[in-house]
Amino acid sequence: MSEQSIETDMIIVGAGPVGLFAVFEAGLLGLKCHLIDNLDRPGGQCTELYPEKPIYDIPARPKVTGQELIDDLLKQISPFDPVFHFNQQAQKMKKLANNNWQMTTSQGEVIEAPIVVVAAGAGSFVPKKPKYPDLEVYEEKSIDYAVYKMNKYKDKELVIVGGGDSALDWVMGLEPLAKKITLVHRREGFRSSPDSEAQFKKLVADGRVDFVMGNVKALNGPEGQLTSVGVETTDGDFVEIDCDYMLPFMGLKISLGPIAEWGLNLDKKHVEVNTETFATDTQGIYAIGDVCTYPSKLKLILTGFYEAAVMCHAAFQYAFPDRKMATGYTTTNTAIQERLGV
Ligand SMILES: Cc1cc2nc3c(=O)[nH]c(=O)nc-3n(C[C@H](O)[C@H](O)[C@H](O)COP(=O)(O)OP(=O)(O)OC[C@H]3O[C@@H](n4cnc5c(N)ncnc54)[C@H](O)[C@@H]3O)c2cc1C
């Protein structure tokens, strides 16, 4: 193992429903998993795009919302203690002399394992960037698209931009520790859950946060450090708001990103796999869920679950040929039940 590397059995790129279920199947075989996702929570499309919408085609679940499905998957995999690396993109892969793969993330974490599973859906969700003048001067210094460490904003003046769940949730999350928060949104209506909107409006009514309806037009401050932002209000006025940090939450777009650079066989932004094993053309690298492609592929959660089960058995035999694999039913195999803690 290289010095600062974390070593594990399986690195899973993507904590969507399929990546999560792969943890379960791997756990039954006694394999430990680390998951990397550039979102700040598990669930992939289910929690990012349709948390409150019901899904009707999960076997034996006549109706379950995106969020409920992810909550239950997390409960199901909890006996296996998966390690999550959120808010970071799986970026660089290197083959080591011991045959392990070494993955480096956008936050500089280094993880190595004999098995890498690409469960990346349509790719990374990346923030849509606003079109402000001189934006790049302030990015990474005083404009953040995600909250990595809340303490960074303690006693600071913040301008949060947007009208969706992320914007409102972070107004609520940061209000107790920030010096002052102003939410800038271009109209009165919000694209958030009614509950978040009600909580936000109460904070405004109580005078604990400010709300300015309008569009950001100017970023001010020397050497990338914001001191204020200029906002043109919907009434046509121009106001200047003091600010140390700005957090724009304008939604997300999806991009395959670094996976396209890993030398895997791709077919129209999907990774080609062998359906007997869900192996890619590169030894030790597997692909499951929406990101993989083969004749007759169905982009559904249930197919991803099946792919995860077949992949884990194949990957176990590839990476640990000398170990005995615990196969059989969860109802009757005592070794599996011990792992599940039941
Ligand atoms: C509105 C809507 C409704 C749907 N309804 C249904 C339904 O009723 N039934 C059904 O079966 N399916 C449904 N789907 C499809 C279903 O959501 C997908 O099939 C499923 O989410 C695929 O799961 P996944 O784990 O493969 O990928 P995803 O859910 O896309 O998760 C992939 C994760 O990988 C992360 N990622 C990607 N690249 C990287 C990287 N380099 N580094 C770090 N992280 C990375 C992403 O951030 C993401 O979180 C629906 C989809 C939508 C949009």
Could you tell me the distance, in angstroms and rounded to a whole number, from the CA of residue 39 to the centre of ligand 1?
Answer: 12
Sheet holding 115-118, edge to edge: 83-85, 33-36, 10-13, 115-118, 285-287
Pocket test for ligand 1, best of 12, 45, 256 (most atoms within 8 A of CB): 45
DSSP-derived pairing of the beta strands 252-255 and 270-272:
unpaired
Q: Beta partners for 229?
A: 219, 241
Which helix (H) or strand (E) covers residue 319, if one does?
helix 301-319
The structural domains of the chain, with segments of one domain joined by +, span: 6-125+253-340, 129-250
Q: What is the DSSP annotation of 193-232?
A: -HHHHHHHHHHHHTTSSEEEEEEEEEEE-GGG--SEEEEE
CB 78 within 8 Å of CB 27: no
What are 119's two structure tokens? Answer: 């469960």
Which helix (H) or strand (E) covers residue 18, if one does?
helix 17-28
Task: Ligand 1: list residues with CB < 6 Å.
Answer: 13-19, 36-39, 44-46, 49-50, 55, 57, 89-90, 119-125, 257-259, 289-290, 299-302, 304
129-250 has the same fold as 6-125+253-340: yes
Match 């990474």 to its residue by tokens.
140
CATH superfamily of 6-125+253-340: FAD/NAD(P)-binding domain (3.50.50.60)
CATH, domain range 129-250? 3.50.50.60
Distances (CA, A) of 141 to 2, 58, 75, 215, 221: 31, 44, 38, 21, 11
Task: Residue 292: count other Cβ atoms within 10 Å of its Cβ.
Answer: 26
Residues 6+ apart with CB under 8 A from 217: 132, 133, 230, 231, 232, 238
Could you tell me the distance, in angstroms and rounded to a whole number, from the CA of residue 140 to the centre of ligand 1?
Answer: 28
Q: Per residue of the chain (342 residues), give pLDDT as tens.
A: 445 889 999 999 999 999 999 999 999 999 999 999 998 899 999 998 888 889 999 999 999 999 999 999 999 999 999 999 998 999 999 999 999 999 999 999 999 999 999 999 999 888 899 999 999 999 989 999 988 788 999 999 999 999 998 899 999 999 999 999 999 999 999 988 889 999 999 999 999 999 999 999 999 999 999 999 999 999 999 999 999 999 999 988 888 899 999 999 999 899 999 999 999 999 999 999 999 999 999 999 999 999 999 999 999 999 999 999 988 899 999 999 999 999
CB 211 within 8 Å of CB 182: yes
Could you tell me the distance, in angstroms and rounded to a whole number, from the CA of residue 96 to the centre of ligand 1?
Answer: 30
Which of 172, 12, 160 has its CA nearest to residue 86? Answer: 12
